[in-house]
Amino acid sequence: MNVVPQLIGYPRIGPNRELKWTLERAWSGRIERDRFAERIADLRRAHLAEQRDAIGPGGSVADDFFLYDEVLETALMLGIIPAALTAELERDPFAALTALARGTPEREAWEMTKWFDTNYHYVVPEVEQLPTRLGPLPWRAPLGDGQAAWVVLGPFSLAKLSKVGPGVDRRALAAAAGTALWSFVRERAEATPAFRLQVDEPCLGLALTDDDAALLDAGYGAGGRLRLATAPLVTVQFGSPAAETIEMLGRLGFVVQMPLAAAEELRGTAAWDAQLELVLAVLDGRSVWPDDLMPVARLLSALPDDGRLVRLVPSTSLIFLPYTVDGEALPPGFQFAREKARALAGWAAVLPDGAPPPAPEPPRAVWPAVGELTARTPRPERRAAQADLHLPPYPTTTTGSLPQTAEVRHLRAALSRGELDEAGYHQAVGRLITDAIGWQERIGLDVLVHGEFERTDMVEYFAEQMDGFLTTRHGWVLSYGSRCTRPPILAAPPTIREPMTVDEWRLAQAATDKPVKGMLTGPVTIVNWSFRPPRVPDDQLFWAVAQPIADEVRHLADAGARVVQVDEPAVRERWPLPTVDAEERRAVYARGVRAALNHVFAQPAHVQMHTHMCYGDFGEIVPLWADAGVDVASIEFSRSKDDSYIRLFYALFPDGHLQIGPGVFDVHSPHTPGREVMDQRLRHFEAFMAAADLWVNPDCGLKTRGWPEIERQVGDMVAAARARREALARAGG
């Protein structure tokens, strides 16, 4: 039996975030166009070389070097772009990509949302007309490397993940995208016989409807007889493809990635027999814990050697992992991307008959059972207890972070290098906090924030202060564009020994008579943006992390905080995908979210409890908030333009309406829509919300913007709020 390893995706940001720095230099105009192209080509070569070194000469690697994200760049290669930018795509593809991904001072970006149940994001294409051909972007031109498969998003998933405009049929979109892709592949196969293809179809692992089956048929109707020397691979990196899907694609000559458990069930079926090669997902591409070889060995030892090649692949691209554990102070046994790839190569070298030496296992912990729900004081009584905050109608606020400028980053770097001691660092951060309070007062905000200058990341900052978490120095993972995070490792139930945020809140509150929000990250988001231990149910993880976060809310309340915001942008992130086995897993997830949020928000009535959510489809998880005593929620709106889940949240609670601040501008773009557009957005919500329930805020935190940009954006936001107050006063409200 011939067993070979294959990577289906790898971290592209670079071991030292080289792609990040290159992109940001381009966006700021600090690199010439030709030099940028040369640098990108160098980074692409390094990306492939890193994979080859890890997987070895007998394995295959993924040419998945996208600059921003695979969905957006596949759409651009198909010519899916607003008509106003068509010429820009021809003249300067990177500028066109930037306009759609980040926006410009003149136009808003396309919507950005979560990539399935991960903390990666993708840009949602808006299809105005059907594609007719595929033309690679300069940095995506195939290399003709026989060891590397050229990666592209498949027509089925492109059609599922895109927005379609008036007159555009989704099935016709799949057919047109597929026809363009397959024509391009045939041309490449004829010109470069070594050309290899990987088609990513993440949507194929979800439960499919009859309409989905028709969409799949449309996308692959012209996909037969591609004349490739190596069978094209269809990856299904979330969920599990149906037997009918595997058989249908196999008949067309595609080999399909199968989870190990599904492979055991499919043996001897028509789907199994239709596969020219067996592609088995044997490593968890999203976990930093080592994987178990024994189930793989058992399956392969039971298979007859029928001459088919067996490819061992991770469950997903390794883009969700940091590069390497080298240089990290972690207990033995953890594996990042490089270690996972080497483990995969080691398995392939000895299977089906042998076994590699046993790998060390990180320690395992005991997790607490989930506690009972506790009712908070009813909403009308809470609203009365909070009336002495004396907030005006349409109160204005931001969602937490303020610009993390070069000065802020320099302070952290100086502290890390030992050039600045702790006292000097805290003094400098204190000055930034008091200056930020002065700026917010000058611009006219009603509820202020301290700015979070001391925080590298909204999860990592808290993980560093809680027992039970492990953190890294270089464990960067791409979130979107050039934005990276360092996810901590949740290794044991966390605790805190002292308050984590009270000192900064006190300093900020002492500088103003206006209320300053205490700012925390919620337990569900902390778990979902951390590397979680294997085989521990969601509900126990959420409940365990809720304990120290609830303790910190009480510390803030005891210190005098009247407004506390507990951010939950990732509350939906690990909500089990709509696969055939989702119901039972969703019940566990829901139980944990309800218990954790109930525990954290069960605070004294006079403390106004806020939350924040952004960049995800929250509709299905709205009911999970029913037991949380939340008073105010700021929710993204301006980029998605989707008010459906805001309507659901507004009507959720039987004891009165939730106060909501729909985001009136997109913080990931330098663009400000202006006071008039923000005013229109607020009036849109007045159609179904009482003015007394409306807050005014951005979509998200402002850490990635500069002060001149937010001066315009927040200034317009405050002006829009004042315009609505004046209109309310004229109406006698």
Residues with catalytic roles:
668
| 118/532 Cα distance (integer angstroms) | 13
Contact 721/398 with Cβ under 8 angstroms? no
Look at residues 63, 42, 43 and name the one whose alpha carbon lies nearest to residue 52. 63
| 575/623 Cα distance (integer angstroms) | 13
Output the CA angle 339-343-344, nearest 5 degrees.
120
Where is 134: in which H helix or E strand? none
Chain centre distance of CA 524: 14
322: tokens are 């940091």
Q: In sequence order, which residues have a C-beta less than 8 Å from that of residue 224 and are 6 or more positions away?
A: 252, 253
Residue 134 main-chain phi, psi, to 5 deg: -115, 125
438: tokens are 């002065």
Long-range CB pairs of 134-137, under 8 A, 24+ apart, other chains included: 134/77, 134/78, 134/180, 134/181, 134/183, 134/184, 135/77, 135/79, 135/184, 136/77, 137/73, 137/76, 137/77, 137/93, 137/97
Q: Name the residue type at position 192.
A: T
Residue 584 main-chain phi, psi, to 5 deg: -65, -40
Look at residues 494, 496, 522, 543 and name the one whose alpha carbon lies nearest to residue 373. 543
Q: How many Cβ atoms from other residues are within 10 Å of residue 592's Cβ?
A: 26
SS (H, E, C) 548-615: HHHHHHHHHHHHCCCEEEEECCCCCCCCCCCCCCHHHHHHHHHHHHHHHHHHHHCCCCCCEEEEEECC
In whole angstroms, how large is the CA radius of gyration of the chain?
A: 26
- Paired strand residues for 259: 281
Output the CA torsion sign for 719, 721, 726, 730: positive
| 306/408 Cα distance (integer angstroms) | 61
Q: How deeply is 421 buried, as exposed, middle or buried, from its count of CB atoms within 10 A (0-12, 13-18, 19+)?
A: exposed
Under DSSP, the state recorded for 663 is B
Integer CA distances (angstroms), 377 to 78, 583, 628, 655, in order: 55, 32, 11, 10
459: tokens are 């999860």
| 158/174 Cα distance (integer angstroms) | 7
